[in-house]
């Protein structure tokens, strides 16, 4: 009889047989930067996550640096929001200032910046609004300006999350023209219209003021279409393509890994984090084991990069394991 259990007898052999191993470099940690001074404000629905003003970023950046993770993903929250998201591409916008500060003070930290208008518009939509419609082509120049201004501030990578059609091509062209042909684009390609973004919208103060995002983000029911979105972004010049959220969409991630010879990212989003945290705080689940299992599943399904609010905790747990030998 073949006995699978022969190779499961103890941790020495199990660790040799392990197919998927997490490493701190797998992770990107989202960081929220708010305009103002001396701010560290907790995000209620995301225990352990805070919004920082630029002058208090050191606290989190020191931890990032020590953790050895792959990088950070920045989200800016401006004081002033308007119809045309002017703070999204202002040279002295909060996000640009945060990038410049980190670039100067932490040259070793890899800075990815989320490019989208929703944190910067008065209506909270990811694009330019006319009446109750979200305009596509009118949004592209604003996203392009935002991407260029962030590259100028010192961003390493640009991550468009708006889901307008044609934005990867528009941003690629704009970056190239501005002299940033070496700046990679990580496209939120298969980004679903998901209730799992709820806590993020508290954190980033970016909930749409009217309607929803269903006319630009994907229908959660559509796996086939997700693959076409990914193929399209590859064609337009994306360097890395992303599936978002993670856990409920691992089938999409796996299928993309099988079909495309491309680096894949997955976003383990705010609602996934909130659910784990809430249950862990009640003592209903073992946080460390659950998080390890979730992130391992994402890597096993094909993710090269995992964007996760658990990044610093997971890196610390991995270091602990390493030290334990």
Instruction: Select 199 or 258, whichever has its Cβ closest to ligand PBG.
Output: 199
Q: Residues 25, 81, 214, 244: which is the catalytic one?
A: 244
Q: Contacting Zn ion (CB under 5 A), which of 126, 175, 186, 238?
A: 126
If one asks whether residue 32 binds ligand PBG (CB under 6 A), the answer comes out as no
Q: Known catalytic residue: 65?
A: no
If one asks whether residue 33 binds Zn ion (CB under 5 A), the answer comes out as no
Could you tell me the smallest distance in angstroms from the CB atom of residue 135 to ligand PBG?
16
Q: Known catalytic residue: 254?
A: no
Instruction: Select 58 or 138, whichever has its Cβ closest to Zn ion.
Output: 138
Q: Contacting ligand PBG (CB under 6 A), which of 34, 114, 156, 236?
A: 114
Could you tell me the smallest distance in angstroms from the CB atom of residue 323 to ligand PBG?
30
Could you tell me the smallest distance in angstroms from the CB atom of residue 185 to ligand PBG?
15
Could you tell me the smallest distance in angstroms from the CB atom of residue 160 to ligand PBG?
9
Q: Which stretch binds ligand PBG (CB under 6 A): 86-94, 150-158, 196-204, 247-255?
A: 196-204
Q: Name the residue whose CB lies closest to ligand PBG.
A: 200
Q: Would you call 254 exposed, middle or buried from its count of C-beta atoms within 10 A (0-12, 13-18, 19+)?
A: middle
Secondary structure of the chain in the HEC alphabet?
Answer: CCCHHHHHCCHHHHHHHCCCCCCHHHEEEEEEEECCCCCEEECCCCCCCEEECHHHCHHHHHHHHHHCCCEEEEEEECCCCECCCHHHCCCCCHHHHHHHHHHHHCCCCCEEEEECCCCCECCCCCCEEECCEEECCCCHHHHHHHHHHHHHHCCCEEEECCCCCCHHHHHHHHHHHCCCCCCCEEEEEEEECCHHHHHHHHHHCCCCCCCCCCCCCECCCCHHHHHHHHHHHHHHCCCEEEEECCHHHHHHHHHHHHHCCCCEEEEECHHHHHHHHHHHHCCCCCHHHHHHHHHHHHHHHCCCEEEECCHHHHHHHHHHHHHHC
Q: Which stretch binds ligand PBG (CB under 6 A): 9-17, 86-94, 99-107, 111-119?
A: 111-119
Determine phi and psi for 91, rounding to 5 degrees. Answer: -60, -30
If one asks whether residue 146 binds ligand PBG (CB under 6 A), the answer comes out as no
Q: Contacting ligand PBG (CB under 6 A), which of 67, 270, 292, 296?
A: 270
If one asks whether residue 205 binds ligand PBG (CB under 6 A), the answer comes out as no
If one asks whether residue 47 binds ligand PBG (CB under 6 A), the answer comes out as no
Which spans of this chain sit near ligand PBG (rule: CB under 6 A)?
A: 114, 116, 118, 126, 161, 197, 200-201, 213, 269-270
Which residues make up the interface to Zn ion (CB under 5 A)? 116, 118, 126
The residues annotated with a catalytic role in the active site are: 191, 244
């Amino acid at each position: 009889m073949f006995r699978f259990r022969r190779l499961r007898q103890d941790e020495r052999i199990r660790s040799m047989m392990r197919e998927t191993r997490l490493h701190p470099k797998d992770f990107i940690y989202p960081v929220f930067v708010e305009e103002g001074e001396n701010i560290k404000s907790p995000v209620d629905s995301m225990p352990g996550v805070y919004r920082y003003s630029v002058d208090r970023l050191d606290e989190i950046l020191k931890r990032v640096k020590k953790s050895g993770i792959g990088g950070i993903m920045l989200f800016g929250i401006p004081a002033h929001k308007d119809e045309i998201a002017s703070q999204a591409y202002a040279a002295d916008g909060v996000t640009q200032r945060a990038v410049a500060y980190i670039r100067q003070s932490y040259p070793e930290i890899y800075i990815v910046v989320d490019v989208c208008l929703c944190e910067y518009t008065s209506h909270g939509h990811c694009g330019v609004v006319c009446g109750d419609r979200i305009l596509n082509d009118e949004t592209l120049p604003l996203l392009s300006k935002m991407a260029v201004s962030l590259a100028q501030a010192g961003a390493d990578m640009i991550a468009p999350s708006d889901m307008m059609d044609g934005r990867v091509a528009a941003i690629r062209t704009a970056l190239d023209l501005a002299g940033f042909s070496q700046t990679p684009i990580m496209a939120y390609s298969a980004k679903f219209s998901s209730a799992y973004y709820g806590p993020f919208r508290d954190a980033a103060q970016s909930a749409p003021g009217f309607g929803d995002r269903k006319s630009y983000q994907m229908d959660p029911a559509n796996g086939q279409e997700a693959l076409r979105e990914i193929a399209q972004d590859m064609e337009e010049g994306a360097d890395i393509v992303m599936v978002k959220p993670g856990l409920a969409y691992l089938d999409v991630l796996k299928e993309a890994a099988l079909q495309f010879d491309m680096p894949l990212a997955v976003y383990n989003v705010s609602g996934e984090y909130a659910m784990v945290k809430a249950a862990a705080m009640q003592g209903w689940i073992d946080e460390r084991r659950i998080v390890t299992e979730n992130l391992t599943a994402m890597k096993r399904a094909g993710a090269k990069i995992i964007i996760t609010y658990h990044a610093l905790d997971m890196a610390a747990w991995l270091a602990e394991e390493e030290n334990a030998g």
